[in-house]
Amino acid sequence: MDLLRALVRTARMARHTSGLADGLPADDDVLLDAPDERLGPALVAAGRGAYAPAARLLATTREAAEWESRDRYALRLAAFARARDPWLREWRRAAPHDPDVLLVRAELAVSRGWHSPARVELLREAGPLIMAAAERGPRDPVPWRIALDHARGTGVGRAGFERLWAEAVRRSPHHYGCHVSALKYLSAAWYGSHPECFDFAERAAEDALPGSLVQALPVRAAFAHLVDGGGPEVRRARLDEAADRAIALSAAYEPGDPWPAEVRNLLTYVLVRLERWPDALEQLRRIGPYATSFPWDRVSGDPLGQFLQLRDGVRLEVASSMPLLTRSQKRAGRPAARSQTSRSERARPDGD
């Protein structure tokens, strides 16, 4: 019987896997951490040693209070500066007290600290720079997101964390980046527990604005639980509820929209771990060409390769659960030729 099941599974995969590639971009068209149309030119200019486009971009986000975009751009610019920073040094010389250059420098200092064997020492040295960025941008929540990351790495206690969190939400109650940093602090890997992490994430998601990425916090809590090995602390229903909430958020955005790409990549990881294969395939279609390093860099040194390999694996899993024949084929009493089956006649996984 086991042999028969294996043969049927193999036959299903052979019949259906190729058809399930519909709606998925070719491997060569998938991009890792692709910048949007605003950030791209700033990175190109930075690569040539020019800081002005980056300065204009961050100034625009600050003046328009585009805090979510500002946070993303600061992270990406600091990541770029870790490898190539002449443009940032020029910017600092030209405008040492500019709140935007201070923001990038603060993010860069914390990032370098996190990636150094002397982490605690380097992070402590970054403290004054974070406070300088906060003072120069009094309305800006992003320095406080950096401060929360800094607090996690320097062992700030719960009272200190609460003070930083209060400063962050006073400036922007629903800022996604600050919520993510707080969630990390409260995770079991740092200073909290899986249930506490879920409690925080679910409360924030309930209070979140429509379409806010904060609604995806529970699926981040699910990710933290799963990569930590799972266990009885969190029941399966809670993990599924987190995934369902993130699926609803994903549906609020158009397929192929780069803005929720990281959330969709994270959701796909969680759905795969939960063996919800048809739901995972649907999210892969919604991701389109926008793969993101997180979460795949947590499980592989080649995040893009891991993403592409996972796409193939999900298609195989979905195909293996599909019937060998469609209902119309069964009524006709004959199988359709594999290569001639029309797109409308192909069996589809549930939820597709």
The DSSP string of 22-68 is TT---GGG-EES---TTHHHHHHHHHTT--HHHHHHHHHHHHTT-HH
Rounded alpha-carbon distances, angstroms, from residue 37 to 41, 56, 73, 136: 7, 14, 12, 27
Cα 289 to its chain centre, rounded Å, is 14
Q: Quick one: pLDDT at residue 331?
A: 56
Asked if the model's pLDDT at residue 10 lies above 80, the reply is no
Q: Quick one: pLDDT at residue 274?
A: 97
Asked if the model's pLDDT at residue 279 lies above 50, the reply is yes
Asked if the model's pLDDT at residue 319 lies above 70, the reply is yes
- Range from 8-12, 156-160, 226-230, 255-259 carrying the lowest mean pLDDT: 8-12
Over range 52-73, report the average pLDDT. Answer: 98
Evaluated on CA atoms 60, 257, 303, 184, the torsion sign reads positive
Q: Which of 152, 173, 233, 165 is nearest to 199 (CA)?
A: 233
Residue 291 is classified by DSSP as: E
High-pLDDT (> 70) share of the chain, %: 85
Query: What's the whole-number average pLDDT of the chain?
Result: 89
Residue 337 is classified by DSSP as: P
Asked if the model's pLDDT at residue 241 lies above 80, the reply is yes
Q: How confident is the model at residue 2 (pLDDT cuts 50, 70, 90)?
A: low
Over range 280-286, report the average pLDDT. Answer: 97
- Termini Cα distance of the chain: 30
Q: How many Cβ atoms from other residues are within 10 Å of residue 242's Cβ?
A: 27
Q: Quick one: pLDDT at residue 332?
A: 53
Q: Quick one: pLDDT at residue 47?
A: 97
Q: How confident is the model at residue 3 (pLDDT cuts 50, 70, 90)?
A: very low
pTM across the whole model: 0.86
What is the C-alpha separation between 219 and 274, in angstroms, rounded?
12
- According to DSSP, the residues that pair with 290 across neighbouring strands are 31
What is the C-alpha separation between 40 and 92, in angstroms, rounded?
21
Over range 262-274, report the average pLDDT. Answer: 98
Asked if the model's pLDDT at residue 341 lies above 90, the reply is no
Rounded alpha-carbon distances, angstroms, from residue 190 to 168, 178, 179: 20, 16, 15
Q: Quick one: pLDDT at residue 311?
A: 95
Angle, helix 236-251 to helix 277-287, in steps of 10 degrees? 30
Model confidence over 171-191: pLDDT tens digits? Answer: 999 999 999 999 999 999 999
Model confidence over 193-212: pLDDT tens digits? Answer: 999 999 999 999 999 999 99
Identify which has the larger pLDDT, 232 or 3: 232
Q: How confident is the model at residue 230 (pLDDT cuts 50, 70, 90)?
A: confident
- Range from 219-223, 230-234, 262-266, 331-335 carrying the lowest mean pLDDT: 331-335
Q: Quick one: pLDDT at residue 309?
A: 95
3-state SS, residue 121: helix
Q: Quick one: pLDDT at residue 9?
A: 42
What is the C-alpha separation between 131 and 124, in angstroms, rounded?
12
